[in-house]
Structure 1
Amino acid sequence: MLEKRVLQFAVLIASIVPIGAGLAGIIIGPWTFGARSYSVDLISHVGYLSGLLLAIGLLFVISVPNVEKHKDRFLILGAIVFIGGLARLYEGLLTGFGTMPHQLALVMELIITPLIVLWQRRVARLSGR
């Protein structure tokens, strides 16, 4: 099914974002995200959240081979990403929306990821799942 293959490719491409940002946050720390001043607590928090981001990306990637079988996984991961995006939106309304990478992350969290979840559900339905 062509649509399944295109979805698989889209998920792989989209997963580059959380995997890359997660690894950068783990390896480089808050400096990755433009922090100029920091505390040990901020470094710890960024490291933890970056690990979660990496895990989200990896879970999407391991779902690719049988993408049509993972409705629940996509829904849970998508909800986590969406809720994170709502938190980012809230903070942005309070303090400003930051740099372009953070603005693009908001688009990924509130628009692209929900569309991928809906697309996965369509592919699952078409495959009889």
Structure 2
Amino acid sequence: MTPAAERRLLQAALCVAVAVPLVTAGIGIVRGAAWLTPGEVPADLDSHFRYLSGIFLALGIAFASCIPGIERNGGRFRLLGAMVVAGGLARLVSALSIGLPSAGHAAGLVMELGVVPLLMLWQARVARRS
């Protein structure tokens, strides 16, 4: 595969991956913690959930900003990826201490500790080949 074709394939994969934080953060901001927990949600939990959803939205926008010049945005991409991996490690602590989360959050864990590190390695390869 040519370097240009690989770059385009990475950009397409990132477009798909970036949809996850953008969509889920938007839902989290609009619906709050009640989106995941039926019944009454304490105000402090809902406030914190919406705050974290806002950060998640900003993270998705920041990742999206890397896509056009992905081969030149390695530093920013690695920093954002490190933030996602740190969040995944925190989620792993929860899974080990309290139990596995719902399927959606388990999929998030796979994204955070599997897909994002692989995308980071792929970005580094594309940058080297450019």
Match of 2:61 among 58, 61, 76: 58
Alignment correspondent of 1:23: 26
Percentage identity across aligned positions?
43
Cα distance between partner residues in 1 of 2:35 and 2:97: 22
Secondary structure at 2:115 match in 1 = helix
TM-score, normalised relative to structure 1: 0.94
**Cα offset for 1:8?**
0.2
Cα distance between partner residues in 2 of 1:32 and 1:94: 23
Unaligned runs of 5+ in 2: none
Alignment correspondent of 2:76: 73
**Pairs aligned (count):** 127
TM-score, normalised relative to structure 2: 0.94
Match of 1:82 among 82, 85, 92: 85
CA RMSD of aligned residues (A): 1.0
Q: Following superposition, which runs of at least 4 residues in structure 1 exceed 4 angstroms of deviation?
A: none
Cα distance between partner residues in 2 of 1:116 and 1:71: 11
Give runs of aligned pairs for residues 1-129 of structure 1, distance below 5 A.
Answer: 1-34=4-37, 36-127=39-130
Unaligned runs of 5+ in 1: none
